[in-house]
Amino acid sequence: MEAVKEAQAPGTRAKTQQFEARPISWRLGSEILGLDLKRSDEISDDSFRAMWKLLGERGILLFRKQGLNHDQHLAFTRRFGPLAVTGLTSRYAPEGYPDIFTVTNIKKNGERSETENAAQQWHSDQTFLQVPARASMLRCELTPQFGGDTMFADLTHVYDDLSDGLKATLEPLRAFHSLFCTRSKVMKGRKTLSEDELKRVEGEQGAMQPVVLRHPDTGRKALYINEQCVDHFEGWSIEDSRPILEYLYKLAEHPKYTYRHRWQPGDIVFWDNRCTQHYAPLDYDFAALDQPQNRRLMFRSTLA
């Protein structure tokens, strides 16, 4: 099989046996064309290996106009490997689908959704677990008339652009990732976890992760910190850690490292949690969530 090669100029496409790939931004993301994900059992193993390789290299894969149901979504995800188990996913899962996480601003039984603003801080999924999630796949069912976007940042190129001195400082460090760090506590509307839910979360006190992660597939280094879960380095106080962390968080938000995805119903976005992070800005009329034109409904699966 020919390897997938990214096109050198916008609008050009590189062919493989079963699909085509074209960049969706300068540094981050590729759109996959020519595959029907409803029939994922008919996609070759070679194609899945090629997509996985491309995911590590480009951080994001986009599949437009797929219109999957829950079963098709999970079937496609599982072709890449086993699903992650967080212990909390079922709290937001559609009935009968404990491996799917619902992200929505639609009220249920008259109550506002706890996931309506779940991604209001930059983060990678499940870094607070001892064994974090490798990748995540988000499916769009409904999107606001205006906005409802998701932003992604490329942490590989952020690391590449750091000075040699800062790289040497960060290389040996580990950072403490927790659902209960000081940054996460400022999120509005977050429901307090019950005692049972706390027990079900692996490593409920959090996990130490390397600040610089060498990607196991590409061999490239990436920053592995995020503002939602990290407020200090191992052996450092929060106060001492803050200046460096704030600098790195601000750097990662620079437009040259980011891609902003404008959702369309039927979209699937597949991202690598080991080299990207994401964030959902409140870029629509959040004060009028009851209006049909502002409804947002997404479903996420996660790879262990």
- At position 126, the amino acid (one-letter code) is Q
What does pTM read for this prediction? 0.90
DSSP bridge partners of 259? 152
Domain extent for 99: 87-303
Q: Is residue 67 part of a domain?
A: no
Is residue 137's pLDDT more than 50? yes
Give the integer Cα–Cα distance in Å for 264 and 150. 12
Alpha helices per DSSP H over the chain: 45-58, 70-78, 155-160, 164-170, 195-200, 238-252
Is residue 118's pLDDT more than 90? no
Number of domains in the chain: 1
Most confident range, picked from 1-15, 76-90, 175-189, 266-280: 266-280
Q: Is residue 53 part of a domain?
A: no
Tokens (6 digits) for 243: 């200046």
Q: Is residue 57 part of a domain?
A: no
Q: Is residue 207 part of a domain?
A: yes
- Return the CATH number at 199: 3.60.130.10
Residue 10 vs residue 298, higher pLDDT: 298
Q: pLDDT value at position 249? A: 98
Cβ neighbours around 275 below 10 Å, total: 30
What percentage of the chain has pLDDT greater than the value 70? 87
Give the integer Cα–Cα distance in Å for 224 and 58. 16
Q: Is residue 249 part of a domain?
A: yes
* Contact status, residue 108 vs residue 116, Cβ threshold 8 Å: no
Q: Is residue 59 part of a domain?
A: no
Q: Is residue 122 part of a domain?
A: yes
Q: Is residue 1 part of a domain?
A: no
54-90 per-position pLDDT tens digit: 999 999 999 999 999 999 999 999 999 999 987 677 7
